[in-house]
Amino acid sequence: MSPRILPFIMVLAAMAMVPLVSTSPFYVNLTSQVAIAAIGALGLNVLVGHAGLNSLGFAVFPGLTAYLVAWLSTVGGFDPVPAALLAIGGTLAASMLFALVALRTTGLGFVMITMALCQIVWGAAYRWTSVTGGDNGLSGVPRPGGAVLPLERPEWFLWLCLCVLALALLQLGRFFDSPLGVALRGTRDQPRRMSAVGYDVWRIRFVAWMLAAGWGAAAGLLYAWYHQFVSPHMMAVTASAEVLLMVVAGGAGTLAGPLIGAALVVLLKNLASIWIDRWMMLLGVTFVVIVLLMPDGIVPGLGRLTAWLRRFRPAPAPALVPRERTDG
Amino acid sequence: MAFWISQSLNALALGGLLFMLASGFSLIFGLMRVANLAHGALFMLGAYLGLAVVKAGFGFWVAAASAAVAVGLFGGVLERTLLRRLAGRTLPQVLLTLGLAFIIADACLMLWGGDPMRLPPPPELSGAVRIGDAVFPRYRLFVIGASAAVALGLWLLVERTRAGAMIRAAVDDVGMARAIGVSASTLFTAVFCLGTALAGLGGVIGGPILSVYPTLDQDMLPLALLVVILGGAGSLIGAFVGAYAIGFIYTFGQVLVPDLAYVILFLPMIAVLSVAPQGLFGRRLG
Amino acid sequence: MAEPALHIAGLSKQFGGLPAVSDVSLAIMPGERHLLLGPNGAGKTTLFNLICGDLAPTLGSIRLFGAELVGLPPRKRTAFGLARTYQILTLFPHETICRNVMLALNGLKAGKWGTWRAFEANRALRAEAMAILDRVRLADLADRPVSQTAYGDRRRLEIAMALALSPRVLLLDEPLAGLSRDERVTVQDLLANLPPDVTVVLIEHDMDVALAFAERITLLHHGRVVATGSRAEIAADPRTREVYLGA
């Protein structure tokens, strides 16, 4: 186990040390953005990488939580922490209802229905102006904390994000190796056999859906606290597509993939906003390039590369290439 | 009474536009198992191309025809060069068509700017007619008629011609269709051209009603998906019923409960899915 | 007379008006070795799919030791002691052979819902899986991913997956399909050594193996039962020749 978790500890530690190295809040905030995006991408990876369910509406989970916590802690008058708990609870409850609709299909049907479900909530946020503020969104979302935990300061907020990210990596890392994690990939590859040997395929997928919803909600909460502002754009099709790109670019079905993908997309997006202001175009081109050149993502791609390099050295055993299905 | 008549006519016009958009999506889906997420962007591209042709001094009809042909050819090229490599792989296809949608949308924004623009209807169809107490734009009546004509034409093509028989055979079973001598390769490209041309045509026809603006694609694609989920993928009848149902629900929803119209739009989808996951007239989506 | 292990009565399945299985009735006794015979398209695999619950019948009843199966999902039927193999290999290609069997073993255990302890760490489950792999002569390859095994090994794994459920009634769909002569012998031995109390229903086109194995035979044609009887009766029945050689 330890050789596997060591790289993750090193990466998290390096991210945590950014505030000690850089005095500029820009890099600290950028690191927070990567951490938040990675938590969301890890959640989506449960569906895309392990359940074989390609969701194009993942942004609904962080979006719902962000809107709920924003509304509760501004209009609703709740303190940040109770508002957060209620928001996550509300998102999980809504996610159960969504599961009843979305999990009736798989394959392309699932793609379209998850997109439609996200669109419903986007529509409510965008059009139900009296409650959600419409296109202007809700601003002035307070961060929790105080003297002991000054979360209004960028470095402390980063450390909170990294704690949640570490928790997500730990929980999902254990889950993917657990009996249910193995069974989940079983329902991805051979649902018929799974059901024939006694598994409840629907319930296994439901657990995966709720796990994705839970980590999506965590990401949404941190997102709302980070920006202290929510708007319908965080539930637009592009937002869901960005998370999907993180998962696929990094490597669906791997634990490190979403982390690498999140860093890639967040950095790309920030660079684009500084220099070229054509994020949509860049996002589109990245999709096309990834699909055509690196369909399995960076992590399996690197795995294949090292295996290929090893062939030029006298190796005692052929390297096993970790390869996960990315198509549905 | 006048309210109901004119809103019903609006609903029929919107339903007709949605049919032009969704029927192509549905045919492509049924035949090739591809959810073409660039379909909304191609609709918008058609609208912008039509606008450019009109602005260049050609008439509306030339604009409609040339946008349909151009978008159809563009779709054919996409199918031949890119989509074809990914046959049978769901996630890469989804990502590719989505990526193309973003590229097309951003290119339109780059070329034509961010301001909404109005595509003027042809002069012979401007003005209004009186129906009972209601006054109704003549152009919308034309849209109702034109989309019905497209629906009829598509139906005749699929049900009454040899090409249509091939499409139906291939929708049922591509392997079987190949065995009896249907060239799936040509058929796929042809249907992709047809489907995307319909989207382009829909963009121009819809231009005078919807106007032309940068996020038109993001507004139209979810509606097309809804129609297809509701009616069932691969079914022309399903697209027809779904398109007009959505047209009515959206039109009346917007008038009666403007805040929540968009949310209400999705209720029939949820109702249908809980009874028939494959949609009203479709096969299984999985 | 004892209660049949598997009792099918008036079972029919239509696909869009076309009958695939019509009014099939069968009574298979505990411990019986029963062969389903018939040309391609006779409805044999459809019958298996109906028994296992992958398909819902249009009409009829299926009882396993007296308990009605129609209306139950496949996983509940498995809990009653039903297991099957597939004609088209249905394995988990990314997992090792051993983990395939462990996954099948876990299907009826409460431990399958665990989300924290590693699957691999379950020593008892692994030992159980190894015992089954020993029976199908795959213990040597236990830790090899399925994607790197030979076709013959996969065929035997297919059987191991069903054995993992300790079935009372075992449905085998062409367990010898595509195997070499040597491999056939291995599987034939394996079938011969199945516990005598397990009821086995077999679909197989290799007549030498099938006839050596089965005591009773049902002849299906166009989704209907043409004849049921002992090996000798079916061999002597003129309709057998008719189904295979005639129209």
**∠ CA A254-A259-A261, rounded to 5°:** 90
Neighbours of chain B (3+ CB pairs under 8 A): A
The arithmetic mean of pLDDT across residues B106-124, rounded, is 92
| Residue A316 banded pLDDT, cuts 50, 70, 90 | very low
The arithmetic mean of pLDDT across residues A302-312, rounded, is 75
The predicted-structure confidence for C187-239, as pLDDT tens digits, reads as follows 999 999 999 999 999 998 888 888 888 989 999 999 999 999 998 888 888 88
From CA C31, how far away is CA B64, in angstroms rounded?
74
The predicted-structure confidence for A157-194, as pLDDT tens digits, reads as follows 999 999 999 999 999 999 999 999 999 999 999 999 99
The arithmetic mean of pLDDT across residues C86-93, rounded, is 93
Say if the Cβ atoms of B100 and A288 lie within 8 Å: yes
DSSP label at A321? P
Nearest-CA neighbor of B115 among B180, B51, B204, B192? B51
| For chain C, percent of residues with pLDDT exceeding 90 | 73
The arithmetic mean of pLDDT across residues C52-74, rounded, is 94
Nearest-CA neighbor of A230 among A94, A88, A74, A17? A74
pLDDT, residue B273, reads 83
Three-class DSSP category at C217: strand
pLDDT at B43 over 60: yes
Q: Which helix (H) or strand (E) holds C68?
A: strand C67-68
Say if the Cβ atoms of A291 and B90 lie within 8 Å: no
| Residue C1 banded pLDDT, cuts 50, 70, 90 | low
| For chain B, percent of residues with pLDDT exceeding 70 | 98
**Tell me, which fold does domain C1-81+167-247 have in CATH?**
Rossmann fold (3.40.50)
User: Is the Cβ of B85 closer than 8 Å to some Cβ of chain A?
Assistant: yes
pLDDT, residue C237, reads 86
pLDDT at C116 over 80: yes
C and A make contact (3+ CB pairs below 8 Å): yes
| Residue A320 banded pLDDT, cuts 50, 70, 90 | very low
Say if the Cβ atoms of A186 and C92 lie within 8 Å: yes
Average pLDDT, chain A: 90
* Least confident span in A216-225, B163-172, C49-58: B163-172
Say if the Cβ atoms of A196 and C78 lie within 8 Å: yes
pLDDT at B281 over 80: yes
Distance from CA of B98 to the nearest CA of A (A): 7
CA dihedral A14, A16, A21, A26 (to 10 degrees): 110
Question: Number of CB pairs < 8 Å for A and B?
Answer: 156
From CA A54, how far away is CA A182, in angstroms rounded?
18
Q: For chain C, report the end-to-end CA distance as a whole number of angstroms.
A: 38
Domain ranges (residues) in chain B: 21-214
B35 chain-A contacts, CB cut-off 8 A? 108, 111-112
pLDDT at B164 over 90: no
Say if the Cβ atoms of C116 and A198 lie within 8 Å: no
| Backbone phi and psi for residue C80, each to the nearest 5 degrees, phi listed first | -80, -5
pLDDT at A90 over 70: yes
Distance from CA of B35 to the nearest CA of A (A): 7
C104 chain-A contacts, CB cut-off 8 A? 197
Q: Which helix (H) or strand (E) holds A301?
A: helix A298-310
pLDDT, residue C247, reads 43
pLDDT at C136 over 50: yes
The residues pairing with C13 across neighbouring beta strands, listed in sequence order, are C21
The arithmetic mean of pLDDT across residues C56-84, rounded, is 94
pLDDT at A313 over 70: no
The predicted-structure confidence for C159-191, as pLDDT tens digits, reads as follows 999 999 999 999 999 999 889 998 999 999 999
pLDDT, residue A162, reads 97
Average pLDDT, chain B: 89
The arithmetic mean of pLDDT across residues C103-109, rounded, is 94
Q: Does A44 or A128 have the greater pLDDT score?
A: A44
Q: Does A221 or B186 have the greater pLDDT score?
A: A221
From CA C106, how far away is CA A124, in angstroms rounded?
44
pLDDT at C8 over 50: yes
Instruction: Show the 3-state SS of B216-284.
Output: HHHHHHHHHHHHHHHHCCCCHHHHHHHHHHHHHHHHHHHHHCCCCHHHHCCHHHHHHHHHCCCCCCCCC
Neighbours of chain A (3+ CB pairs under 8 A): B, C
Identify which of A105, A108, A110 has the shortest CB distance to residue B33.
A108
pLDDT at B189 over 70: yes
| Residue B193 banded pLDDT, cuts 50, 70, 90 | very high
User: Is the Cβ of C92 closer than 8 Å to some Cβ of chain A?
Assistant: yes
Pick among B39, B89, B95 to test the A interface (most A CBs inside 10 A): B95
Domain ranges (residues) in chain A: 2-236
pLDDT, residue B72, reads 97
| C100 in Cβ contact with C138 (< 8 Å) | no
| Backbone phi and psi for residue B131, each to the nearest 5 degrees, phi listed first | -125, 105
pLDDT, residue B259, reads 83
| Residue A325 banded pLDDT, cuts 50, 70, 90 | very low
pLDDT at C111 over 60: yes
The predicted-structure confidence for A24-56, as pLDDT tens digits, reads as follows 899 999 999 999 999 999 999 999 999 999 999
The residues pairing with C14 across neighbouring beta strands, listed in sequence order, are C19
The arithmetic mean of pLDDT across residues C128-135, rounded, is 95
B94 chain-A contacts, CB cut-off 8 A? 54, 56, 108, 111
A182 chain-C contacts, CB cut-off 8 A? 95, 99, 103, 119
| Residue A323 banded pLDDT, cuts 50, 70, 90 | very low
A112 chain-B contacts, CB cut-off 8 A? 35, 225, 228-229, 285
The predicted-structure confidence for A46-89, as pLDDT tens digits, reads as follows 999 999 999 999 999 999 999 999 999 999 999 999 999 999 99
The type of residue at A133 is: G
Q: Does B105 or A277 have the greater pLDDT score?
A: B105
Packed helices A279-293 and A257-275: angle between N→C axes, nearest 10 degrees: 140
Say if the Cβ atoms of B82 and A292 lie within 8 Å: yes
Which residue in this structure is represented by tokens 């004892």? C2
pLDDT, residue B260, reads 85
Residue of chain A with shortest Cα separation from C55 = A192
B270 chain-A contacts, CB cut-off 8 A? 101
Domain ranges (residues) in chain C: 1-81+167-247, 93-165
ipTM field: 0.91
pLDDT, residue A156, reads 94
